[in-house]
Amino acid sequence: MMISPRLVNAYESNKPYLAMLLVQTIYAGMALLSKASISSGMNPSIFVVYRQAFATFSLAPIAYFMERNNVFKLSYTLLWKIFFSSLIGITITSNLYYSALNHTSATFAAASNNLVPAITFVIALILRMERMHIGEFHGWAKLIGAIISVSGALVFAFVKGPTLNFMPWYASHSEVASTTNQTSSNGEFIKGPFTMLCANTLWSCWSIMQAPIMKEYPAKLSLVTLQCLFSVIQATVWAIAMERKLSSWKLGWDINLLSVAYCGIIVTALTYWLQLWSIQKRGPVFTAMFTPLALIITAVVSMFVWKETLYVGSVCGAVLLAGGLYCVLWGKSKEMDVKLSDQQKPEEDITLESIKTQE
């Protein structure tokens, strides 16, 4: 059976979009499982150690068999860059994330991650890795889309409004309100969001750091494996300093083992590689702009699995998220078209000059 060339071309051009959709679906599962594990009493620092250990052991054989013929030289300077990147983007970010998750909900964690596109865009502009293109319509589409997307995430998380009681299992508004008031009275409203903001900022820095590192070391699987290995060492030192009880390090056949295995093998091993591949193909801002999808997926799964209440504000926020995401992706695609056309112009000019010379 012959596959249509048009279908193959469409698949090839849409691979970055499909990859990031899969990444955000996996991240939604990470938020749900991690929250369940941390709430059951697992130490966040120990969680990071086991997660990175699972990731390293699962990635190492895959990286060896797939990239053993493409061996790139590792200099001391490059090793220090990878070590520092692992410290900032994996070890410290993960510890801050799980520490904040201990004081917030899974939906709130997914919502706060939508600050990553805006932070990444600002840092990329400062470092001149992204251009605003104020005189072009696609530049304004990227900026307005990012603002709308982040605004939709905030509306989704914080604006409640009337409940949509079309499901029989929805909790009453009074029960949810009392739970929210109890959480706020415990003083978690400031501690959790501030820690999550620091984690998101460092994660944006990690995304931007990968582009220059991959130019020196293009083996993506080996690069992720090295970062995970360094993170195991870094996280272990930190966890021992924070928690010295041996009983806290024990894992049983429970939600804790499932969570660290999922986060290590699926999240770290698979999504980190997919993100590096997407960054190489479309850049860090393109990768970060898919973050809002994890919030929608997390909220929908929580609605059916944990029977959380759906509000009108959540629906309005989801519409804003989708609209903002569409604007950003449209602007990014138009920008890529302009870059490709500019790259082809010199080749066309050289061809014309060669024809004139031959004549």
Q: pLDDT by residue (tens digit) across 23-76?
A: 888 888 888 888 888 888 888 899 999 999 998 998 888 888 888 887 788 889
The pLDDT value recorded for residue 343 is: 65
Residue that is written with structure tokens 């929608």 in the block? 296
Q: Per the structure block, which two tokens stand in for 161?
A: 């409004």
- Count CA atoms closer than 13 A to 171's CA, side-chain side: 15
What distance in Å separates the CA atoms of residue 106 and residue 38, rounded to the nearest whole number?
A: 11
Angle, nearest 10°, between helix axes 173-185 and 188-216?
80
pLDDT value for 354 = 46
Residue 225 pLDDT exceeds 70: yes
336 has a pLDDT exceeding 80: no
pLDDT of residue 179: 45
pLDDT band at 78 (very low <50, low <70, confident <90, very high): very high
Rounded distance between C-alpha atoms, residue 214 and residue 280, angstroms: 8
Mean pLDDT is lowest, of 175-179, 221-225, 283-287, for 175-179
Q: What are phi and psi of 210, to 5 degrees?
A: -70, -30
Model pLDDT for residues 241-283, shown as the tens digit of each residue? 888 788 888 888 888 999 999 988 888 777 877 877 887 777 7
Percent of the chain at pLDDT exceeding 90:
14
In a domain, 80, yes or no: yes
Q: What confidence tens digit (pLDDT) does each residue in 151-207 have?
A: 877 787 677 777 766 555 554 444 444 444 444 444 555 677 788 888 988 988 888
Residues 89, 109: Cα–Cα separation, whole Å: 17
Residue 6 lies in a domain: no
The three-point CA angle 286-325-140 to 5° equals 80
Residue 13 within any structural domain of the chain: no
* CA–CA dist 61, 65 (Å, integer): 6
Q: Is 183 helix (H, G, I), strand (E, B) or coil?
A: helix
Residues 6+ apart with CB under 8 A from 81: 209, 213, 216
Cα distance between residue 57 and residue 48, in whole Å: 14
Q: Is residue 165 part of a domain?
A: yes
How many structural domains comprise the chain?
1
Amino acid at 296: I
At residue 171, the pLDDT reads 47
Q: For residue 358, report the phi and psi dihedrals to the nearest 5 degrees.
A: -65, -35
What's the rounded Cα separation, in Å, for the pair 359 and 354?
Answer: 9
Instruction: Give residue 45's Cα distance to chain centre.
Output: 20
Q: Could you tell me what percent of the chain has a pLDDT over 70? A: 77
Domain, as residue range, for 351: 18-358
